[in-house]
Structure 1
């Protein structure tokens, strides 16, 4: 396993960073948060550059790149708190269809993603707030030529705006990991309510499916065998989210460090004080540790390494621990200005903290790691 970036991957990072510096300034994020503006121009720019096609198979019209390339892009998106449908579409909807769907379904749905014609997301969590397949309770009942879906999904990213939703459901009379089935449900078939959340730059919704009828052509793979593909798709989803959190934490660190270099007290920069040096040393270690684990997880996914499930949880746990330290010390390093609405720091902190809560907190993933170790 090669853990060094190739020249192509470094060039990808540079080009993505340059585009985002132009297309996604902090003022755009503020407009989304304060005015509810849609980041349509940013999404259009991504589509024009074929970013949605990044990991889609060339047979479906995609670029056919790997998860490490997606990781590079997602980290850069996190640095600028990019709003819009990229993350749920490319890191949640795409892997779910790829892992569970038939070749015809992959060509149909992923081809539209690659062309920028549709956006998507995944709907797994329910009342307990668990993204584990065994906790899915939404019921799928056979109906003439298809299925009827009854239940409610919670904390669905872009749940009220995504064109298509991959919905995890359970066959009647099944429990645990058995009997899971994934469906692609169009937005106009569900009743979605946008939630008020800490991070207003990203939309989450509660999605109600009250007798929604889904045809067999929208049933991904074989009914009852959705547990394994769902798990693999979620591993990609939470690893991508962990990398976005790392990118956001990097910006928090950079903002705080720049302030410490320029803000003077007693005639010297505050960054020269030993207590401040200790804070930044601790933040840097947490940041680089999380980044290393996230890219290791990305490499295991890209190579389908047997350690991918464990590595993905290690990445999400490390990113959660990282944001907790950096959000706290980043704000504290700024002093009083760090608490103001006018400063951008709170936007970054809210994005990082919201990411920790989705797809399992750091505590949840540490418990998962312990289970792998037999503890």
Structure 2
């Protein structure tokens, strides 16, 4: 498989990055309308991973992730409005279920799509204040079967959030001084930044590989998705720890932007199973 992005993919990444930077301060419904207008939901797996990385970078508050990687791969179509899916067999921690227009249910008889308003849905509190997660009480028996693209979507989002954590930490240590020198000039700080960068690039490479495997229906697609999710989870744990430490006490303040991307990265690790669960899946 070819891992180098072509010119169209690099152009897409630049376009998404510029667009997201322009609309990120607007209400979530306006951001969602922009994404729909631009057709990002229809992107192939690798291009979708590029979009999701940029949305993870800004802790996107829209239902894009659930619509594109939870609903669409289960039903084979886009929803009328926003969508999500219940595919864990229990209806727990369903992304965006409290605001989805359509919800796909994975049942023993196949996929069933119902209106979100027709289900009993209760939003549950999670660490990320901009992330909508809910408990769904299904009207029928449910079975478990997580789409590969759902794992890749969470991995790509986590990579974007980790990238933002690193950028914020680098900006901080360059301007913050200690003993008359910028914090970034100390070797221990450089080592932590380097470790963060390597972890992010590893997770990104595995995420791109998994997206390509899905696009080409490669027989390794399931293992690749588990690898991407595990790598992204391991990445966020290292980046979370180092990023918070490099910020010091400022990293704990509510006013600091760091908290939002820290929480988004951690939520992406926990949803649909943390890294240890997916490493174990590779052994079965």
TM-score by length of 1: 0.73
Question: What's the CA shift for 1:10?
Answer: 0.5
Q: Secondary structure at the match of 1:341?
A: coil
Q: Secondary structure at the match of 1:161?
A: coil
Trace 1:81-96 onto structure 2 (pairs within 5 A).
81-96=59-74
Identify the match of residue 237 of structure 2 among 324, 343, 350: 324
Q: Secondary structure at the match of 1:154?
A: coil
Instruction: Provide the rounded CA distance (Å) in 2 between the counterparts of 1:160 and 1:254.
Output: 32
Instruction: Provide the rounded CA distance (Å) in 2 between the counterparts of 1:304 and 1:261.
Output: 45
Identify the match of residue 50 of structure 1 among 21, 31, 39: 39
Counterpart check, 1:119 vs 2:82: yes
Q: Is the 8 A contact 1:263 1:269 kept in 2?
A: yes
Identify the match of residue 57 of structure 2 among 66, 72, 79: 79
Trace 1:252-267 onto structure 2 (pairs within 5 A).
252-267=165-180
Higher relative contact order (CA 8 A, sep 6+): 2
Question: What's the CA shift for 1:359?
Answer: 1.2
Question: What's the CA shift for 1:211?
Answer: 6.6
Pair member with larger Rg: 1
Counterpart check, 1:164 vs 2:102: yes
1:271 aligns to what?
184
Counterpart check, 1:41 vs 2:19: no
2:12 aligns to what?
12
Counterpart check, 1:201 vs 2:130: yes
Q: Deviations over 1:53-96 (max 9, x none)?
A: x24xxxxxxxxxx2111111111111111111111011111111
Instruction: Provide the rounded CA distance (Å) in 1 between the counterparts of 2:265 and 2:22.
Output: 22
Instruction: Provide the rounded CA distance (Å) in 1 between the counterparts of 2:46 and 2:220.
Output: 16
Whose strand proportion is higher, 1 or 2?
A: 1
Trace 1:155-234 onto structure 2 (pairs within 5 A).
155-170=93-108, 181-210=110-139, 230-231=145-146, 234=147
TM-score by length of 2: 0.95
Q: Is the 8 A contact 1:124 1:154 kept in 2?
A: no
Q: Are residues 211 and 6 of structure 1, via their aligned partners in 2, closer, same or farther at CA, if it must alter by over 3 Å?
A: closer
Q: What is the aligned-residue RMSD (CA, Å)?
A: 1.8
2:24 aligns to what?
24
Instruction: Provide the rounded CA distance (Å) in 2 between the counterparts of 1:299 and 1:121.
Output: 23
Instruction: Provide the rounded CA distance (Å) in 2 between the counterparts of 1:211 and 1:315.
Output: 32
Q: Deviations over 1:186-216 (max 9, x none)?
A: 112111111111111110111113579xxxx
Q: Deviations over 1:263-300 (max 9, x none)?
A: 11111111111111111111111111111111111111
Gaps of 5+ in 2: none
Q: Secondary structure at the match of 1:359?
A: coil
Q: Secondary structure at the match of 2:81?
A: coil
1:35 aligns to what?
none
Q: Are residues 254 and 211 of structure 1, via their aligned partners in 2, closer, same or farther at CA, if it must alter by over 3 Å?
A: closer
Number of aligned residue pairs: 284
